[in-house]
Amino acid sequence: MLALPRGAAGQAPPPLDKAELVRLLTNPLFAQAEVADVVRRSCLTFRPTDRDWADLRSAGAGGEVIASAAACDGRRVASAPSTAPADEPVQPMTAVALPADIITTAGTASSVRVRLSRGRTPIKRVTLALKGTTTLGLSRDAAAVTDDSGIAVFRLPAVARVGTHQFEIRTSSGNGFPGQPGVTLSVRAARPSRLRVTPDIIDFARTADSAATVFATVTDSLGNAIVGEPVEWNGGSGTPVSAVTDSAGRVSFVVAANSVNRGTIAQVRVRGLAPAELEIAAPAGLSGVNTGFVPLATNRGAVGTSLTEPLIFKARTVQGSAPSGRTVRFRALNARVTPESAVLDSTGRVAVDVVLGIRTGEAAVFATIDSVERIMTLRADPGPIDSLILERNGTSVNGRSIVVAVGAPFALRLRAHDLYGNETSMDALGAALRASQQRLSGKDQNLQLVSLESADSAVVFTLRARQPGTYNFAIGSGIRAAVRVDAIP
């Protein structure tokens, strides 16, 4: 705590002059509450004028310090010598905002709390006003009534524009309080809501420039500029570059022609928003956004089969025209494309036929025109069942013999392959086997079906031989899997 020199025991510390009070306010070691406590104990050697109040606020005096300094007038009168007895003078009313600096975001309503007291005694049921709040769009200045704790709460409307507003606390009749207590409302921009990027196309071939400047503007939902917001530029090659918006919410990036890939899409990113895309025109003037494959109704099919519709590739220039007569070359991964090259027609389109490969999983078709390459991703699904495989302990036992113990359950796993050896779905067969489970259970009482469990990829039979012997276990009709079971004691 702050300590000041004291005189003889029982004497109050000497009052502060203006210079001493300013030194206390500007000393970072002392909190506002400590300075206010010193002012209450010591009081002041001067009676502050309007200029003095302004200087004290500039030095950092908050509402509590201002109220303590304003209360000195009453104490100064009480300590004045008098030859005649008189009633103890009434201390002045003081108003303190809690806090005096309010920070809110645009579009959000706020509130101001003000404490009204006489010395340390709260004053209730008194109407206060905030002069200047009509600038927020109110028809008249905001007013509030103090409660039993001497606290008045002012409700302020949402403010759409960024800025700072100053209000003065007054009585309902318009009279001020000692020290001219006030409130500062600072309205800041909300979270980023809009990202605008110009230009939307960079065409180095047309402008013959070695660099281009990209501008990005970040605002909130009300159009206020977002200041100090990090913005990231990603040109598709190299490390992304970041910069911070200025007071207008703007940032710029200088893009060198050799730092980006032609015919691609660059991105500008801001936290919480979808990236804004910027087209880098191809050297031949092709539009990277409007050049590529036309979406398919379905991009999947069974292995070894043709797609249900032709695959169409289209191209456009950055001016939007069709670059007819140019050659497009195609290649495929886990697929076959016909023809392997074709010439764009008058609409800037070309159609090719695609046959999926024999492996399940991803397939792809690549198209190249000038220096622009585009890819269409496809999916090859397994074909219908072509063969069944019975396994025991992970080993195929189709057409073989296995030895089991009488009375001991054992499991056989049934899987299916398509024509190309890809594992295929067992859904339909599993449903049919479940429907006939009761018949299978009673087919051979000596080789008992204990349970049947089916999933998309396999059906698991749990069997048990009730007595020694040799039994045939077969599944399927036409497409069939069988195993011979030798049961021994």
Which amino acid, residue 186?
S
Give the residue from 162, 188, 214 where a domain finishes: 188
Name which of 316, 299, 317, 319 is nearest 307 in CA terms: 299
Number of H helices, E strands in the chain: 8, 34
Considering the domain boundaries, does residue 226 fall inside one? yes
Are 371 and 261 spatial neighbours (Cβ–Cβ below 8 Å)? no
How high is the pLDDT of residue 90?
A: 63
* Average pLDDT of the chain to the nearest whole number: 85
Residue 1 lies in a domain: no
Spatial separation of the C-alpha atoms in residues 116 and 149, rounded to whole Å = 9
Least confident of 131-135, 235-239, 332-336, 365-369: 235-239
Does 91 score more than 80 pLDDT?
Answer: no
Higher per-residue pLDDT: 230 or 179: 230
Together in a domain, 106 and 179 = yes
Report if residue 73 sits inside a domain.
yes
**Pick from 269, 181, 174: nearest CA to 218:** 269
Question: What's the mean pLDDT in 1-22?
Answer: 61
Quote helix, strand, coil % in the chain, to nearest 5: 15, 40, 45
Domain CATH code at residue 456? 2.60.40
Q: What pLDDT does residue 370 have?
A: 77
**Residues 232-265: pLDDT tens digits?**
999 877 788 999 999 999 999 999 888 887 777 8
Which of 4-18, 170-184, 210-224, 474-488 bottoms out in mean pLDDT, i.e. has the lowest? 4-18
pLDDT band at 74 (very low <50, low <70, confident <90, very high): low
Across residues 270-280, what is the average pLDDT?
A: 88
444 pLDDT exceeds 70?
A: no
CA 29 from chain centre, in angstroms, equals 40
- Where residue 143 sits, what CATH number does that domain have? 2.60.40.10
* Residue 137 resides in a domain: yes
* CA–CA separation, 388 and 358 (whole Å): 18
The strands making up 361-369's β-sheet, listed across from edge to edge, are 300-302, 372-381, 361-369, 327-333, 341-343
The reply to whether 11 falls in a domain is no
Q: What is the pLDDT of residue 284?
A: 66
The total of structural domains in the chain comes to 5
- Residue with more model confidence, 446 or 356: 356
47 and 69 both lie in a single domain: yes
Q: Tell me: do 255 and 320 sit in the same domain.
A: no
- Look up the pTM and report it: 0.48
**What is the distance in angstroms between the CA of the first residue and the CA of the last residue of the chain?**
95
pLDDT for 286 equals 79
- Hey, which bits of 139-222 come out as E strands? 142-145, 151-156, 163-171, 182-188, 194-198, 201-202, 211-219
Q: Is residue 287 part of a domain?
A: no
What pLDDT score was predicted for residue 89? 56
**Which has more confidence, 477 or 79?**
477
**Residues 301 and 343 both lie in one domain:** yes
Domain boundary pick from 148, 165, 188: 188
pLDDT grade, residue 81 (50/70/90)?
Answer: low
The answer on 478 and 432 residing in a single domain is yes
Query: Buried b / exposed e across 259-272, counting CB within 10 Å, b at 16+?
Result: ebbbbbebbbbbee
User: Where do we find the tokens 């010439």?
Assistant: 343
Strand partners, 391: 396, 413
Q: Which domain holds residue 446?
A: 387-488
Query: By three-state DSSP, how is residue 77 classified?
Result: helix
Q: Is residue 211 part of a domain?
A: yes
175 and 119 part of one domain: yes
Q: Are 296 and 257 in contact (CB under 8 A)?
A: no
From 124, 158, 188, give the residue that closes a domain: 188
